């Protein structure tokens, strides 16, 4: 098959590691030719061009406006233009390619016009990988409203969302809670075209021996004698950064622990301001690292952290969880009550959960974590990863879903 993948993520190279790179590589390894279309933002200064091309894989990068780490208005304007830009770039640079399967992930929902055009032109099957549920997620955290001017914007995007679901032959959700939410709020959808298609990665052994662990901690200025809690990923409004900072403040006198915050985003400056305070000896803030470097650093830490705003009504399922599991470290999740990620962590025996509006409960869990045996929980994390988030299994599930294995 000729497989087209449309994504807003910055897809750098097929042999990098990540949830999308690993999945596309699995398609290539199974004999398909894969075409990835990914943005190059205005700030990067590049034009639309083919980055990589051979008989198995093509990466086309489309010039767009700034889609990440910019104001809501600028991001909104750039997002509205993306579908037109993608369609134009595909027609110009891949004019003779007929696609058999079109994969695409949210965000954004505004690729509808491109998907509809290609589906009709090529009689292709279409599969949406539903990674977030917009615009409701923006309503939840107060970025949009259902009334006034913002209500007009909300209704426009909600209409686009409905159209995207309708044009999709299949919808892959990240978890059972995602499926339930989608059907409850979109009762017109055919239940037979919806299935759980979770985030997944190619399994790797990144374990460190004692000498390498010491060296890795020295490299990044991490204390050797502390229990290290690490957060990696986006630092924006969905993570409720003020709550994270309140959690860290509750632990400033705890001499057993060290908190490592690695990432970037619209709220990163709040961490910088917090970390610049006097007598802050057990918190370190770092900018985002390359994926492979970050994964190796994780293996030198003790506990991974996940944070989501407690106001979310949509069940998010952060992909960063998979990095923690691969590193063999247990996880503490502070989230809303609607996502099932915390329940999976607890039921899987590799971590702890509390609602992300309770710093006292967070502090209690930290004390519990410091007193417990964590190695067995780290092994349980690895096993849960193998059983539920192996990219080879997810590839097979997609092929079954679209009827390609019949």
User: If we measure between CA atoms, which residue out of 42, 60, 43, 64 comes closest to residue 51?
Assistant: 60
- The domain defined by 210-388 folds into Rossmann fold (3.40.50)
Q: Count each helix (H run) and each strand (E run) in the chain, helices first.
A: 15, 14
In whole angstroms, give the CA distance from residue 44 to residue 179. 37
What are the backbone dihedrals phi and psi of residue 113, each rounded to the nearest 5 degrees, phi first?
-60, -40
Return the CA Rg of the chain.
21
pLDDT value of position 242:
94
pLDDT value of position 274:
87
Q: Which residues contact 293 (CB under 8 A, 6 or more apart)?
A: none
In whole angstroms, give the CA distance from residue 265 to residue 16. 22
In whole angstroms, give the CA distance from residue 77 to residue 338. 30
pLDDT value of position 70:
65
pLDDT value of position 76:
73
Cβ contact 128:193 at 8 Å: no
Question: How far is Cα of residue 75 from the mean position of the Cα atoms in its chain?
Answer: 18
Stretch(es) of the chain classified as CATH 3.40.50.2000: 2-201+390-401, 210-388
pLDDT value of position 65:
67
pLDDT value of position 45:
73
pLDDT value of position 52:
82
Going from the first residue of the chain to its last (406 residues), give the mean pLDDT of each consecutive group of 10, the final group possibly shorter.
Answer: 93 90 96 94 80 90 75 72 88 94 89 94 96 92 91 92 95 96 96 95 91 94 95 92 94 93 90 80 90 90 96 94 96 96 96 96 96 94 97 96 75
- List Cα–Cα distances, 63 to 24, 89, 94, in angstroms: 22, 9, 15
- The domain defined by 2-201+390-401 folds into Rossmann fold (3.40.50)
pLDDT value of position 40:
83
């Amino acid at each position: 098959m000729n497989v087209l993948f449309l994504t807003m993520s910055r897809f750098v190279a097929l042999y990098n590691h990540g949830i999308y790179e690993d999945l596309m590589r699995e398609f290539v390894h199974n004999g398909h030719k894969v075409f990835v279309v990914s943005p190059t933002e205005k700030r990067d200064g590049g034009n639309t061009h083919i980055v990589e091309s051979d008989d198995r894989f093509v990466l086309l990068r489309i010039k767009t406006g700034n889609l990440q780490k910019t104001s809501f208005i600028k991001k909104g304007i750039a997002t509205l233009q993306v579908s037109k830009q993608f369609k134009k770039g595909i027609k110009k640079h891949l004019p003779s390619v007929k696609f058999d399967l079109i994969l695409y992930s949210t965000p954004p929902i505004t690729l509808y016009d491109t998907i509809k055009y290609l589906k009709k032109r090529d009689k292709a099957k279409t599969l949406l990988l539903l990674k977030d549920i917009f615009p409701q997620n923006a309503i939840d955290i107060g970025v949009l409203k259902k009334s006034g001017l913002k209500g007009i914007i909300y209704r426009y995007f909600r209409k686009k969302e409905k159209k995207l679901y309708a044009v999709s032959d299949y919808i892959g959700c990240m978890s059972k809670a995602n499926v339930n939410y989608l059907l409850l709020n979109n009762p017109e959808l055919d239940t037979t075209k919806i299935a759980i298609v979770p985030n997944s990665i190619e399994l790797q052994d990144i374990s460190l021996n004692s000498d390498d662990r010491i060296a890795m901690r020295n490299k990044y200025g991490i204390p050797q004698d502390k229990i290290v809690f690490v957060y990696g990923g986006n630092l924006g409004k969905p993570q409720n950064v003020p709550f994270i900072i309140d959690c860290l403040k509750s632990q400033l006198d705890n001499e057993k622990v060290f908190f490592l915050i690695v990432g970037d985003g619209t709220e990163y400056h709040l961490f910088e301001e917090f970390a610049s305070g006097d007598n802050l000896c057990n918190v370190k803030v770092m900018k985002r690292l390359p994926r492979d470097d970050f994964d190796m650093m994780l293996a030198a830490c003790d506990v991974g952290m996940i944070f989501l705003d407690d106001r979310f009504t949509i069940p998010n399922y952060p992909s960063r969880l998979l990095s923690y599991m691969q590193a063999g470290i247990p996880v503490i999740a502070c989230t809303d009550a609607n996502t099932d990620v915390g329940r999976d962590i607890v039921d899987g025996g590799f971590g702890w959960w509390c609602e992300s509006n309770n710093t006292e409960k967070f502090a209690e869990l930290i004390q519990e974590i410091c007193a417990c045996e964590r190695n067995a929980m780290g092994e349980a994390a690895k096993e849960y990863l193998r059983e539920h988030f192996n990219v080879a299994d997810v590839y097979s599930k997609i092929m079954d879903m679209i009827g390609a294995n019949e």
